[in-house]
Homo-oligomer: A and B are copies of this chain.
Amino acid sequence: MKSLILTHHPEEKLQFLDIPKPVPAAGQVLVKLKAAALNRRDQWIREGKYPNIQFDTILGSDGAGIVEAIGEGVAGDLLGKEVIINPNVNWGEDPKVQSKAYSIIGMPNNGTFAEYITVDADKVFAKPQHLDWAEAAALPLGGLTAFRAVFTHGQISEGKNVLISGVGGGVAQFAFLFAIAVKAKVFVTSGDQEKIDTCLNLGAKAGFNYKTEGWQKEALRSSGGFDVVIDSAGGNQINDFIKMAKPAGKIVFYGATNGMPQNLDMFRLFWNQITLQGSTMGNDLEFADMVDFVNLYKIKPIIDSVRPFSEAISAFDEMKKGGAFGKLVLLLD
């Protein structure tokens, strides 16, 4: 089968290789992939900027397809089912945090950038019927990570004031869509007015360009302060968020692309009883809940572009450039 594999190639680490189609072991299913989607993680791995890089792995954490074969002990009615894949591997026993054995498909286990994948049977979920293949493939990892940040940690609900920073991000867009769906008052930041405009059309109360000096004051003035901030940038901006948070507010972050802040306003944090909450991915129950939520609210992922699998490398290049708003999707077949 055709696969996009992380190799030692000196010029381009990602190479299309033809390798044997995998066979589902006991308890597994073989999924013929119809679509797959990129995450920033994939490009970071390509650049060697991710911990514990394992070569000779098929990348890709997001995928949707059709169950074509089943291993021993798997219920036969899964055969032929249209599914999306929960990317979790070995979350473990504690719903609050992943085990040390945790990973996601796409390294070290083989991922979705291939014609086929085998995963444990309990990791496939019926594809939401309101989504086409590209939309379904766009959902899993971003949706899962956002669901945990927005609901498990952020406790976002109707009427809450919410700031989604860097809304162009792959997870941030889901956080935005989920918060809008439950009728929170959602504000966004981006460095790109077009992305802000898209969010305003989708129901955002206001958007702020973080390249504009003084946006923080404007955000505080127009919102009256935030109950929850959802962030993945970190850096010194964390202290802005602390100032913009309402008393007893929460700042939930699932990344730190801007690195560590040079200080931390602990005085405001403790006096205002603010919570700084780290978050990443989500457990298997959250994945199931996220799919139910997406079905109930008919959430449609924002898609930047869809291209054939053979042009996957150009999608990685776009991810690196960073201008996209919405998921970069690859169609198999």
The listed residue with most B CB atoms (<10 A of its CB), out of A259, A273, A280, is A273
A235-263, CB < 8 A from B = 238, 247-248, 253-256, 259-263
Closest 10 CB pairs of A and B: A270-B278, A97-B248, A269-B278, A256-B266, A96-B248, A276-B276, A97-B247, A260-B263, A234-B266, A97-B273
11 contacts between A and B (CB under 8 A): A98-B273, A234-B264, A238-B264, A256-B266, A260-B263, A260-B266, A269-B278, A271-B280, A273-B280, A275-B276, A276-B277
The answer to the question of A112 belonging to the interface, with a C-beta cut-off of 8 Å to chain B, is no
Interface residue ranges, A against B (CB under 8 Å) = 94, 96-98, 234, 238, 247-248, 253-256, 259-280
Q: Report A97 CB to chain B, min CB distance, Å.
A: 4
Majority secondary structure of chain A interface residues (helix, strand, loop or mixed): loop
With both beta carbons as reference points, the residue of chain B lying nearest to A234 in the complex is identified as B266
Q: Which residues of B contact A271 (CB under 8 A)?
A: 278, 280
Q: Report A259 CB to chain B, min CB distance, Å.
A: 8
Q: Out of B234, B270, B280, name the residue touching A253 (CB < 8 Å).
A: B270
What is the bound-complex CA distance between A272 and B256, given in angstroms?
13
Copies of this chain held together in the complex: 2
With both beta carbons as reference points, the residue of chain B lying nearest to A258 in the complex is identified as B266
Q: Which residues of B contact A278 (CB under 8 A)?
A: 266, 268-275
Q: Which residues of B contact A268 (CB under 8 A)?
A: 278
With both beta carbons as reference points, the residue of chain B lying nearest to A266 in the complex is identified as B256
What is the bound-complex CA distance between A278 and B251, given in angstroms?
12
The listed residue with most B CB atoms (<10 A of its CB), out of A234, A261, A269, A272, is A269
What is the bound-complex CA distance between A265 and B255, given in angstroms?
11
Question: Is the Cβ of B264 less than 8 Å from the Cβ of A260?
Answer: yes
Q: Report A76 CB to chain B, min CB distance, Å.
A: 38
Q: Which residues of B contact A275 (CB under 8 A)?
A: 275-278
Q: Which residues of B contact A273 (CB under 8 A)?
A: 96-98, 277-280
Q: Which residues of B contact A234 (CB under 8 A)?
A: 264, 266
What is the bound-complex CA distance between A231 and B307, given in angstroms?
52
What is the bound-complex CA distance between A101 and B163, given in angstroms?
27
What is the bound-complex CA distance between A279 and B265, given in angstroms?
13
With both beta carbons as reference points, the residue of chain B lying nearest to A270 in the complex is identified as B278
Q: Report A134 CB to chain B, min CB distance, Å.
A: 29
Q: Report A248 CB to chain B, min CB distance, Å.
A: 4
Q: Report A146 CB to chain B, min CB distance, Å.
A: 14
Q: Which residues of B contact A269 (CB under 8 A)?
A: 253, 276, 278
Q: Out of B248, B255, B256, B260, name the residue touching A94 (CB < 8 Å).
A: B248
Q: Report A254 CB to chain B, min CB distance, Å.
A: 6
With both beta carbons as reference points, the residue of chain B lying nearest to A265 in the complex is identified as B260
Q: Report A25 CB to chain B, min CB distance, Å.
A: 29
